[in-house]
Amino acid sequence: QVQLVESGGGWVQAGGSLRLSCAASGRTFSSYAMGWFRQAPGKEREFVARISWSGGSTYHADSVKGRFTISRDNAKNTGYLQMNSLKPEDTAVYYCAATRIPTVRAMDYDYWGQGTQVTVSS
């Protein structure tokens, strides 16, 4: 029912910034909590951040806390991940996802974007 389309990935030097966007279809995006995950080659998919349906509750993984900020604009049916002070270890494919359950568990998410590559150069 919900389709997610990501944009904003690319290459950046260490210390730089990127802003990822996740555009959702339909009129019910505000009913879903949203999360961001990432996966590097040969590694497990890793939780990055999540935000409640209202935007009133956010949670960020320790590895990105203070550098990344999750947000959403329900009027635009769009979620965001602002990434500052990027490090080479942030290099991964980043995925946005939506769920009706507030959670950090990937298995609980119902819909996923296609993923966008983020590469941080040393």
pLDDT in tens, the chain (122 residues): 789 999 999 999 999 999 999 999 876 777 899 999 999 999 999 999 999 988 889 999 999 999 999 999 988 999 999 999 999 999 999 999 999 887 899 999 999 999 999 999 99
Rounded distance, CA 108 to CA 34, Å?
11
Match 């959403």 to its residue by tokens.
Answer: 72
56 alpha carbon, distance to own chain's centre: 16
Rounded distance, CA 40 to CA 44, Å?
7
Residue 48 near residue 36 (C-beta atoms within 8 A): yes
Tokens of 32: 């879903």
- Secondary element (H or E) of residue 69: strand 68-73
Rounded distance, CA 14 to CA 85, Å?
7
